[in-house]
Amino acid sequence: MFNQNVEAGIFSSNKTEDIEDNSEVKQLDDGTIEIIKDDENWLLPEIFFETENKSQQDITFPDFSEIQASQYIVMDLDSNEILLEKGMNEIAYPASMTKVLTALTVIESPDFDLEKPVIFSEYAVDMPSPVSVTAGFSAGEETSTKNALSLMLVKSANDCARALAENYGGTEEDFVVLMNAKAQEIGCTNTNMTESAGFGLEDHHFSPYDLALIIQRAMQHDIFNEIVSTKTYFAEPTSYNGTTGWQVASNSNLLLTVGDNSLKSTYLHTYDGVKTGTTDLAGYCLAAAVHTYDGRHLCGIIFNGDIQLASGQTRIEILLRGILEKAAIDADCPDEQDTLVFLQDNPGIIEKIQMLKKSEINQIVQIENSENNTDNEEVESKIIENKNGSSKSDNDKKNVIQNDKINSEKTEGQKLLAAENILFFIALLLLLIIIIALSRKLFKSNHHKKRR
């Protein structure tokens, strides 16, 4: 194995018209660059366009052999291929992952409408435990279906789950019938729901495979994808709360909120959902979806993960990251290095990317040859100039301009600080003069009284 620094922006290139290239390069809604060539799909790491490396926390990730859980599964959402599993057809207690099926049942209801009013009953806001997560709605309060769905999936608000069940099923009991029918329609054989939020006990369960099928179906809906990939949600106004953002909900799934940086894996490109879940019976649970560098969309689910490792306590997100990474490796999914090699072998694609992004690929990245490369051959580094002929000297000029700007800002700041100091001393001097004048006046008044 060897390491070689390769400056992206220094791949070799010929003019596009001299290269036979049948690739398609497009930018997805989240900014990701997707490359389609022949029968291959690739996702380009955003690191190739960054001007500086993002800081990543120093986290020690456990070896796969250390990861313990009652059950888990990794399934390809496009092909249904099972990449990794443990007890995937055994019943498991889902806690708030229940809300995925609650959301799907609402979204596929005949009267589904994002603006349909949802009214909260006494039952909906009356929680079985004082520590139950809620959005803080009151009995009689009205909001939209979209607001209730968003708070249910992002914040895991139990009051919203119950209110949606009542408003779309008549009663929660009737809605649960719809949930179980939906699961059977999808092909689930080990699912039995008893309520909509995830409080259920032994008779309330999925199997890992069943939940993967439910997530697969739910992610076919744009509104579901939009909500479960939301990192921070600002609640809409309601009948009792007239301002936007009266409730600010942060997604509890760290793979979504910080995973692409702090919990990054060289085999996993982008996390995009799905749902956390924790109760005393269920333990720590998490379902998450991730894209690999060859465009595969994987769903990983862990039930009752043991977060107490021999090396110390960890988080459920770190355990599921390890399971997803292991599945990607076993499935021979490419990593960042393979993507880099692919780009080096296809200079015409590089030109298309640069034209699409209107910037040069200029990030210095690390490339490692795989361990089975015994030749220890060198990676050839060549310069790609963009259409305007820009090179490293342009970056040097930009650095000089940036430094001049910083120095100018420092000088202006020093001037402002000096002016503030002068004004402070003038004010202090005036205050002292006023105090002296008042003291003299008081002294004269007392002296006059004594003479009288």
Residue 264's pLDDT band, with cuts at 50, 70 and 90, is confident
Indicate yes or no: pTM above 0.85.
no
Q: Is the pLDDT of residue 402 over 70?
A: no
Structure tokens at 222: 């744009």
Q: Look at residue 12 in the predicted model and tell me its pLDDT.
A: 41
Q: Contact, 367 vs 340, CB < 8 A?
A: yes
> What whole-number distance in Å separates Cα of residue 218 and Cα of residue 107?
9
Q: What is the DSSP string of 93-143?
A: --GGGHHHHHHHHHHTSTT--TT-EEE--HHHH--SSTT-------TT-EE
Instruction: Determine whether domain 64-328 maps to CATH 3.40.50.300.
Output: no
Q: Look at residue 429 in the predicted model and tell me its pLDDT.
A: 72
Q: Is the pLDDT of residue 234 over 90?
A: yes
- Residue with more model confidence, 246 or 37: 246
Q: Among 27-41, 60-74, 99-113, 141-155, whose mean pLDDT is lowest? A: 27-41
Q: Among 95-99, 225-229, 338-342, 399-403, whose mean pLDDT is lowest? A: 399-403
Q: Is the pLDDT of residue 387 over 50?
A: no
Q: Look at residue 274 in the predicted model and tell me its pLDDT.
A: 95
Q: Which of 11-20, 171-180, 245-254, 261-270 has the highest mean pLDDT?
A: 171-180
Q: Is the pLDDT of residue 330 over 50?
A: yes
Q: What is the mean pLDDT of the chain?
A: 80
Say which DSSP state 385 is in.
Answer: P
Q: Is the pLDDT of residue 322 over 70?
A: yes
What does the pLDDT average to over 184-198? Answer: 97
Q: Among 55-59, 135-139, 394-398, whose mean pLDDT is lowest? A: 394-398
- Residue with more model confidence, 422 or 175: 175
- Residue with more model confidence, 98 or 423: 98
Backbone angles phi and psi of 172, in degrees to 5: -65, -35
Cβ atoms within 10 Å of 315's Cβ, excluding its own: 16
- Residue with more model confidence, 309 or 424: 309
Tell me the per-residue pLDDT of 98-155, one tens digit each, with 9 for 90 and over.
999 999 999 999 999 999 999 999 999 999 988 899 999 999 999 999 999 999 999 9
Q: Look at residue 43 in the predicted model and tell me its pLDDT.
A: 81
Structure tokens at 259: 């995973």
> What whole-number distance in Å separates Cα of residue 364 and Cα of residue 88?
42
Amino acid (1-letter code) at residue 451: R
Q: Is the pLDDT of residue 425 over 70?
A: no
Q: Among 145-149, 225-229, 299-303, 307-311, whose mean pLDDT is lowest? A: 307-311
Q: Look at residue 376 in the predicted model and tell me its pLDDT.
A: 35
Q: Is the pLDDT of residue 362 over 60?
A: no
